[in-house]
């Protein structure tokens, strides 16, 4: 047993995971430090407004990424030993991201200054667009592909450090909520710019190699995956906007407080996906049995951890909610007892998604994702008047369970699992 423990402890992958986990710890701890402070200074309703602004910015991020967070990672991972191909992937991806950034910033600014729902908070929404600039600069997708976890960790530490300092030193009165999302964006811009310059110099990438044909080819080839990511993003960030629009900002704030608690584990699950995904793709491509074995080990331990955590969150829901300084603690405590099932289900669906994408079932993934997200959003609109915020969580749980069933059905049809 001691030999096995030492083998795991000194394994290069465990070393990488430890470094990666240390960096991602900042993503998990940051909400625990920031949210109670923002709620106490700005109030639940204004916190709800910032949640809507951040949700819109995060939704627009999917346009900026244009599938690079999945396809780009996979392509870099597979071609990590070919400098010429890496240069083409890197420069073409950033050319596409730059074009889309300009379009999105122009369109979003027009919407914020024109539509009544956004116009009343146009300053907050506009300042939040800094998040998109930060995401454009973000080279994490490339670092994931080459499995350079040290620099991913550094990016996270610098970014979240700037965000925390900005919040605690500038958010001093109720009306300062308009600057909350700006600090998130500034943290991203500064940290991502530094690492991006380092990557370009280290790998000697040249943007002179970019040509129009490659850019248009990239847009055409990756459009289906990009469109599916739009639906994924809608599922993640549309609920709080729908609650604000069909309900009110107070309900949006209540949802966001509960969601911010479980998002610690949702973020952890998605970050774990990002860490494991390039490795799974590489091994599935070169050695299926070994890749599947690693997939089971990684995600098996991960599921047990999430299961134990969610059981504790369910048991101590009132005490956890009380930490965030809300006024309706019993209501939010009951909401949290329902919401804890979401990370638990994600701990099953996200690993299955890894296999679906690693085996290149892109069309199946796109169709299923698109249909289920539309069903989910319609269910939220229907259930919100009947069950209030509970209806949102009921819809999210039900649709994720259906997705799991379809993932398993599709994977069972693959002959590799029967060899």
Q: How far apart are CA 350 and CA 359, in angstroms?
A: 14
Span of 120-129, 168-177, 221-230, 340-349 with lowest mean pLDDT: 221-230
pLDDT band at 402 (very low <50, low <70, confident <90, very high): very high
| Confidence (pLDDT) at 338 | 93
Q: How far apart are CA 156 and CA 91, in angstroms?
A: 23
Could you tell me the sign of the dihedral formed by the alpha carbons of 89, 91, 92, 97, in that order?
positive
Helices (H) and strands (E) in the chain, counts: 18, 0
272 and 301 Cβ atoms separated by less than 8 Å = no
Span of 56-60, 201-205, 284-288, 312-316 with lowest mean pLDDT: 284-288
Could you tell me the sign of the dihedral formed by the alpha carbons of 286, 290, 294, 300, in that order?
positive
Q: How far apart are CA 87 and CA 396, in angstroms?
A: 40
Region 338-347: mean pLDDT is: 92
Neighbours of 56 (CB within 10 A): 23
Q: What are phi and psi of 67, to 5 degrees?
A: 80, 0
pLDDT band at 366 (very low <50, low <70, confident <90, very high): confident
Region 90-104: mean pLDDT is: 92
Q: How far apart are CA 411 and CA 360, in angstroms?
A: 11
Q: Is the pLDDT of residue 65 over 50?
A: yes
Q: Is the pLDDT of residue 2 over 60?
A: no
Indicate the average pLDDT of the chain. 84
**Residue 321, burial from CB neighbour count under 10 angstroms (0-12, 13-18, 19+):** buried
Instruction: Indicate yes or no: pTM above 0.85.
Output: no
Q: Is the pLDDT of residue 13 over 60?
A: no
| Confidence (pLDDT) at 337 | 93
Region 191-204: mean pLDDT is: 92
Q: How far apart are CA 323 and CA 306, in angstroms?
A: 21
Q: Is the pLDDT of residue 172 over 90?
A: yes
Which range of 175-189, 257-271, 364-378 scores highest in mean pLDDT? It is 175-189
Q: Is the pLDDT of residue 15 over 80?
A: no
Q: Is the pLDDT of residue 53 over 60?
A: yes
Nearest CA to 113 out of 104, 105, 103, 123 is that of: 123
327 and 43 Cβ atoms separated by less than 8 Å = no
Q: What Rg, from alpha-carbon coordinates, does the chain have?
A: 21
pLDDT band at 9 (very low <50, low <70, confident <90, very high): very low
Q: Is the pLDDT of residue 334 over 70?
A: yes
Q: What are phi and psi of 171, to 5 degrees?
A: -90, 95
The three-class DSSP label of residue 82 is coil
Spell out a b/e string for 226-251, using b for 16 or more CB atoms within 10 Å of the CB, else e: bebbebbbbbbbbbbbbbbeebebbb
Q: Is the pLDDT of residue 5 over 50?
A: no
């Amino acid at each position: 047993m001691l030999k096995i423990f030492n083998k795991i402890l000194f394994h290069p992958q465990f070393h990488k995971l430890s470094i990666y986990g240390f960096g991602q710890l900042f993503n998990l701890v940051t909400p625990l430090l920031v949210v109670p402070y923002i709620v106490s200074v700005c109030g639940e309703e204004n916190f709800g407004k910032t949640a809507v602004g951040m949700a819109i910015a995060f939704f627009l991020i999917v346009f900026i990424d244009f599938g690079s967070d999945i396809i780009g990672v996979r392509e870099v991972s597979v071609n990590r030993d070919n400098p010429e191909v890496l240069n083409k992937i890197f420069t073409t991806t950033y050319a596409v991201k730059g074009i889309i950034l300009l379009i999105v910033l122009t369109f979003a600014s027009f919407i914020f200054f024109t539509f009544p729902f956004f116009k009343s908070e146009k300053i907050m929404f506009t300042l939040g667009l800094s998040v998109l600039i930060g995401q454009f600069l973000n080279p994490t997708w490339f670092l994931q592909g080459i499995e350079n976890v040290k620099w991913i960790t550094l990016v996270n530490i610098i970014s979240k450090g700037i965000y925390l300092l900005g919040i605690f030193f500038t958010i001093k009165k109720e009306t300062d909520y308009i600057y909350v999302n700006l600090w998130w964006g500034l943290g991203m811009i500064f940290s991502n710019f530094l690492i991006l310059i380092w990557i370009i110099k280290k790998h000697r990438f040249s943007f002179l190699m970019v040509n129009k044909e490659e850019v248009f080819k990239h847009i055409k080839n990756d459009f289906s995956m990009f469109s599916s990511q739009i639906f994924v993003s809608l599922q993640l960030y549309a609920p709080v906007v729908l609650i604000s629009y069909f309900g009110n900002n107070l309900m949006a704030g209540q949802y966001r407080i509960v969601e911010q608690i479980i998002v610690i584990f949702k973020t952890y699950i998605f970050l774990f996906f990002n860490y494991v995904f390039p490795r799974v793709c590489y091994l599935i491509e070169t050695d299926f049995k070994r890749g599947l074995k690693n997939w089971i080990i990684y995600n098996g331990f991960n599921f047990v951890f999430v299961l134990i955590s969610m059981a504790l969150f369910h048991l101590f829901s009132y005490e956890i909610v009380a930490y965030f300084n809300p006024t309706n603690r019993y209501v939010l405590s009951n909401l949290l007892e329902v919401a804890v099932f979401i990370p638990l289900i994600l701990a099953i669906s996200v690993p299955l998604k890894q296999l679906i994408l690693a085996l290149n079932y892109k069309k199946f993934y796109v169709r299923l994702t698109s249909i289920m997200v539309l069903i989910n959003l319609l269910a939220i609109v229907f259930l919100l008047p009947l069950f209030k915020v509970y209806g949102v969580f009921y819809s999210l749980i039900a649709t994720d369970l259906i997705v799991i069933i379809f993932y398993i059905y599709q994977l069972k049809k693959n002959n590799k699992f029967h060899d």
